[in-house]
């Protein structure tokens, strides 16, 4: 298992380019199941979750081919299996994104039920209720969701009880080939939803209202071969901007849409840092010690839960006390105990963390527990005095492409140590 080792205390500066967004690329790849022909994908990040989705599509019988590191070709016409087995689903909850497309294409689907995960129970009941409203019958058999719609799916009016990102994506994909009109009310408005809708429209889908909380989909006969391009990763972008800020540095991220980062950048401005945006770049520069700022997470356009841990890391060194409230997931404070091991002063009460900013934190061995919690530990390590070792970095590799390389480019003293490398070194010593 790899470890990341950081010598902290270097202010980061410079410019890096954002990768394609994991959470946009995953639904785009699942949408290939709906397409009657090959799809060329651009700006696909090289990440573990993406490889899992590619493995799943290939397992179903699709042709999946990498052109270069970020361009992919997928043709699901040869696919014959309408299943997603436990072995793949258990490593990536987003595998459930194939449920809607498989049902739309094959009239049946068997997808292993994802279990709970480190950040909360994360049920998919709203996805299932929506598919039932569209005419599917759903049963759970031996841990799998078995969905059937022998006569095909029909349009329906679906109102989500709570905003769900992958739920909106799953039902949007199911509705694209359904008979009639589907209305999704209280739909998610994340930029990744708009990316999916725009991409599907490019292949012939009839979708309106994406980016608002009411999406209307008119079913079409088929989707044609074409191209899909992933948007920039707004969470990755903000994580690197936070790395600059927590170290008192000056970081620019290019090839991004600043509007997708509005809630985060507004809070960064409140810390007293300089924020500069161009048509496709964002720069954040610390101007002295950051001031404490409160945040509470909300669906887009609110402050993203996927940046809560990173913002909290910044607040551990801010001047004053900040209150961080998590309203999306019930257990997304796993980083708090690890940050405390580095000297952070944080008290927890239910879904609220109170962070008393301290003048310094110190390096320590810490353990990654989920993707964004891990990112917060890397940020803390960059700002801490001395050495920080982050273990279980496979969590980070699910969502950050070449993190040590990108941070290294900004001046960080960061290295990845892999067990195999150490084993090789040991073997050489013994030889």
Instruction: Tell the smallest beta-carbon distance from residue 23 to ligand EPU (Å).
Output: 3
Coil, helix or strand for 263?
helix
In this complex, which beta carbon is closest to ligand EPU, that of residue 25 or of residue 353? 25
Minimum distance of ligand EPU from residue 171's CB (angstroms): 10
Residues 13 and 427: beta-carbon distance below 8 Å: no
Smallest gap from Cβ 287 to ligand EPU, in A, equals 30
CB of 166 to ligand EPU, least distance (A): 3
Active site residue 117: yes
Contact 33, 101 (CB under 8 A): yes
Paired residues of 297 in beta bridges:
303
Contact 61, 83 (CB under 8 A): no
Angle, in degrees to the nearest 10, between helices 165-176 and 191-202: 10
Closest Cα to residue 233, out of 34, 40, 46? 46
Q: Which residue has the tokens 């009941």?
A: 125
Q: Which is nearer to ligand EPU, 372 or 416 (CB)?
A: 372
Nearer to ligand EPU, 105 or 372 (CB): 372
SS (H, E, C) 48-97: HHHHHHHHHHHHCCCEEEEEECCEEEEECCCCCCCEECHHHHCCCHHHHH
Distance CA 381, CA 387 (A): 7
Instruction: Give the C-alpha separation, 311 to 64, whole Å.
Output: 37
Q: State in angstroms the smallest separation of the CB of 164 from ligand EPU.
A: 3
Catalytic residue among 117, 277, 284, 358: 117
In the bound state with ligand EPU, the residue whose beta carbon lies nearer, of 22 and 283, is 22
Complex with ligand EPU: residue 283 or 300, whichever CB lies closer: 300
Kindly give, in sequence order, each residue whose CB lies less than 8 Å from that of residue 171, ignoring residues fewer than 6 positions away.
100, 127, 130, 131, 134, 158, 182, 184
β-pair partners for 354 = 323, 347
For the beta carbon of residue 357, count every other beta carbon within 10 angstroms: 19
- Taking only Cα atoms into account, the Rg of the chain, rounded to an integer number of angstroms, comes to 22
Integer Cα distance of 178 and 221 in angstroms: 8
In eight-state DSSP terms, residue 349 is E
Nearer to ligand EPU by Cβ, of 231 and 384: the residue is 231
List residues near ligand EPU by CB under 6 A. 23, 26, 94, 120-127, 162, 164-167, 305-306, 328-329, 371-372, 399
Token pair recorded at residue 244: 């600059």
Query: What is the nearest approach in angstroms of ligand EPU to the Cβ of residue 348?
Result: 18
Tell me whether residue 96 or residue 252 sits nearer to ligand EPU (CB atom): 96
Task: Name the residue nearer to ligand EPU (CB basis): 252 or 376.
Answer: 376
Q: Least distance in Å: CB of 50 to ligand EPU? A: 11
Instruction: Give me the least distance between CB of 304 and ligand EPU, in Å please.
Output: 6
Tokens of 291: 């001031």
What are the contacts of 265-272 at 24+ separation with CB within 8 A?
267/293, 267/295, 267/303, 267/311, 268/241, 271/245, 271/314, 271/318
The catalytic site residues sit at 117
């Amino acid at each position: 298992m790899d470890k990341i080792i950081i010598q902290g205390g270097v202010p980061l500066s410079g410019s890096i380019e954002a990768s394609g967004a994991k959470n946009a690329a995953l639904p785009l790849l699942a949408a290939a199941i709906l397409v009657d022909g090959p799809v060329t994908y651009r700006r696909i990040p090289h990440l573990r979750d993406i490889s899992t989705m590619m493995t799943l599509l290939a397992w179903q019988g699709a042709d999946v081919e990498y052109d270069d590191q970020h361009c992919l070709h997928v043709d699901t016409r040869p696919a014959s299996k309408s299943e997603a087995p436990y072995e793949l689903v258990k490593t990536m909850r987003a595998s459930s994104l194939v449920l809607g497309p498989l049902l739309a294409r094959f009239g049946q689907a068997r997808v292993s039920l994802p279990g709970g995960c480190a950040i909360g129970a994360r049920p998919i009941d709203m996805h299932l209720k929506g598919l039932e409203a569209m005419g599917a019958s759903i049963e759970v058999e031996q841990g799998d969701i078995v969905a059937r719609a022998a006569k095909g799916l029909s349009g329906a009016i679906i109102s989500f009880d709570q905003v769900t990102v992958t739920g909106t994506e799953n039902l949007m994909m199911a509705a694209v080939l359904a008979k009639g009109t589907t209305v999704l009310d209280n739909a998610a408005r994340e930029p990744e939803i708009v990316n999916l809708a725009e991409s599907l429209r490019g292949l012939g889908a009839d979708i309106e209202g994406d980016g608002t909380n009411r999406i209307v989909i008119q079913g079409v006969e088929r989707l044609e071969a074409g191209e899909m391009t992933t948007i920039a990763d707004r969470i990755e972008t903000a994580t690197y901007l936070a790395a600059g800020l927590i170290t008192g540095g000056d970081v620019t991220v290019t090839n991004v849409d600043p509007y997708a980062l509005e809630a985060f950048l507004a809070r960064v401005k409140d810390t007293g840092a300089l924020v500069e945006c161009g048509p496709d770049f964002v720069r954040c520069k610390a101007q002295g010690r950051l001031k404490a700022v409160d945040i509470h997470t909300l669906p887009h356009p609110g402050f993203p839960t996927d940046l809560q841990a990173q913002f909290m890391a910044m607040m551990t060194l801010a001047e004053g006390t900040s209150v961080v409230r998590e309203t999306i997931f019930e257990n997304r404070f796993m980083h708090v105990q690890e940050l405390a091991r580095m000297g952070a002063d944080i008290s927890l009460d239910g879904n609220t963390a109170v962070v008393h900013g301290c003048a310094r934190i110190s390096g320590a061995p810490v353990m990654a527990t989920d993707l964004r919690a891990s990112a917060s530990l890397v940020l803390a390590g960059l700002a801490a005095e001395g050495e920080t070792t982050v273990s279980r970095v496979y969590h980070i590799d699910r969502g950050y492409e070449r993190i040590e390389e990108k941070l290294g480019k900004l001046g960080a003293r960061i290295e990845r140590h892999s067990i195999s490398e150490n084993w090789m070194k040991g073997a050489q010593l013994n030889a």
